[in-house]
Amino acid sequence: MSLSYRKFATACLSLTLAINMGLANTVTSANTALAAAEPNKLFEISDSQYDEAVKLLSNYIKIDTTNPPGNEKLGALYLQSVLKENGIDAQVFDSAKDRAIVIGRLKGTGKKKAVILLSHIDVVPAQASDWKYPPFAAEIHDGELWGRGTLDMKGMGIMELAAMLAIKKSGKVLDRDIIFIATPDEEVGGTYGAEWFAKNKKELVKDAEYLLNEGYSIESYNKTGNTDGKAKYWGVDYAEKSVLWLSLTANGLAGHASMPMSNSANNRLIKALAMIAENPPKMTLLPAAKEFFQSIAPFEASPLKELYADIEKTAKAPSKETEETLSVDKLKYSMLRNTVSITVLKAGYKTNVIPAQAYAELDCRLLPGVTPEQFVEEVKKTIGDSSIDVKVIEWEKGDPSPYDNDMFRAIKEANRAEGASAPVVPVVVPWFTDSHWFRELGIHSYGFEPIEVDADHLATMHGKDERIPLAAFRRGIDRLVRILTAL
Ligand SMILES: [Zn+2]
């Protein structure tokens, strides 16, 4: 795979996109209220455990792991020291100079197979002069901890670590080993991180059945208005779309531009691309997408409420108006079809010369189960010109994980403990995370960050002023403990 592909494909890049697509998450105080209602079903870390977790996150944020260059080894050594201080065996492996992976294991009874808690150590660059507070100082203001990586994804990494430490401290031995893994290099594709691990150290996770990683979160109403920040649903991504890159080449005769040729390479390629642009792939409703849209319909406003509630009808023959309405929320819209974006165009070198060749590239994202062969046929049919040469230049298969197993049941149990007013729903995401390296090892992998974050906060993930609301951070640790205990 090329580096450029990886840059396009990372999760974090795309999460920034998600903000513009109507994700409206915010912090709720529902947990506290519900804790009173069902005390026996809820786990809550103590104040001192919470203080310790905030300290861990602050220290971790202060370690600058901006990628490039990364320097994640300092982060890996820090996490290793915390694990070891708490009596959990942990190893650090160098994948390149100053870059390292940490892996620790909390032993269970071994009755069931292990579960991995995955995170990445690297962060994207931060332009300090744009920030209200410095990006690597971990300052706390108004109940929020500021810094690059607080949301993407050192915050989740420390939630995972704190949940593991809380379980260890409780003395309860779970049926599954919990494996903590933090990788470098996720933000530019994982060559020195998850990919390196999957190729060189996979024997360390050969007993693992499940994995939790970054991904979707708890989508909530805006805090303003009468809904006051309540969670809509817990989105758990069980699949990432496959990546298919295609090249289109038209060959023809070169000639002087003073004597036009209607079938020139340029003219034929332009017609082919126009067909692609005007005829997007038809909607395809996956069973998981049906469940997703029907589950979230009650939480949406009209007209999306009605369109989602009857998603089968919606997807069958959408009018132009329906397409426009659905496309406002691009993230959800992407779950309904394979997509094509025309990206690279190359042809010609002089105004008065008709070139002999015209070339284009397409970035296609395919739903689980669609093969490159199937999609190439579809593209060729859409173009309707056999003189255009269509070639596959990149293919990355995004395998889905099941969404009716112990992991989903455990997440649903944690959700029920809070009253289950916001359903747990399966999501297909259009981006790639480190999860795919582990799916390829046969480990069922899920993207779920058990915290509420509003749209403003989500927008900071690859932007400025990234910060995590500490109340959500605390609830996230509790939820992870509940999920792991129920697994
Ligand atoms: Zn990330």
Check: CB of residue 466 under 8 Å from CB of residue 148: yes
Q: Where are the domains of the chain?
A: 3-241+398-486, 242-395
Instruction: Give the alpha-carbon dihedral of 71, 187, 246, 447, to 10 degrees.
Output: 140
Task: Give distance in angstroms: CA of 167 to centre of ligand 1.
Answer: 25
Task: Give distance in angstroms: CA of 243 to centre of ligand 1.
Answer: 18
Residue 202, H or E segment: none
Task: Give distance in angstroms: CA of 407 to centre of ligand 1.
Answer: 21
Task: Give distance in angstroms: CA of 126 to centre of ligand 1.
Answer: 14
Secondary structure letter of residue 66 according to DSSP: B
pLDDT at 228: 55
Q: Which CATH architecture has domain 3-241+398-486?
A: 3-Layer(aba) Sandwich (3.40)
Task: Give distance in angstroms: CA of 305 to centre of ligand 1.
Answer: 30
- The neighbour count for residue 168, using CB atoms within 10 Å, is 17
Check: CB of residue 212 under 8 Å from CB of residue 115: yes
State the 10-residue block means of pLDDT for the chain, 487 residues long. 35 42 37 42 88 98 97 98 97 98 97 98 97 98 96 97 97 97 94 97 98 91 59 91 96 95 97 97 93 91 94 93 92 93 96 97 95 97 98 91 94 90 90 91 96 80 92 95 96
Tell me how far apart the alpha carbons of residues 220 and 446 are, in angstroms, rounded to a whole number.
Answer: 20
Task: Give distance in angstroms: CA of 427 to centre of ligand 1.
Answer: 17
Task: Give distance in angstroms: CA of 397 to centre of ligand 1.
Answer: 20
Task: Give distance in angstroms: CA of 381 to centre of ligand 1.
Answer: 37
Task: Give distance in angstroms: CA of 156 to centre of ligand 1.
Answer: 9
CATH: 3.40.50.800, 3.30.70.360, 3.90.226.10, 3.40.50.300. Which one for 242-395?
3.30.70.360
Task: Give distance in angstroms: CA of 12 to centre of ligand 1.
Answer: 5
Task: Give distance in angstroms: CA of 187 to centre of ligand 1.
Answer: 7
Which are the contacts of 171, defined by CB distance < 8 A and separation ≥ 6?
none
Tell me how far apart the alpha carbons of residues 91 and 6 are, in angstroms, rounded to a whole number.
Answer: 27
Judged by DSSP in three states, 318 sits in coil
Task: Give distance in angstroms: CA of 153 to centre of ligand 1.
Answer: 5
pLDDT at 223: 62
Task: Give distance in angstroms: CA of 358 to centre of ligand 1.
Answer: 37
Distance from the Cα of residue 59 to its chain's centroid: 25
Task: Give distance in angstroms: CA of 168 to centre of ligand 1.
Answer: 26
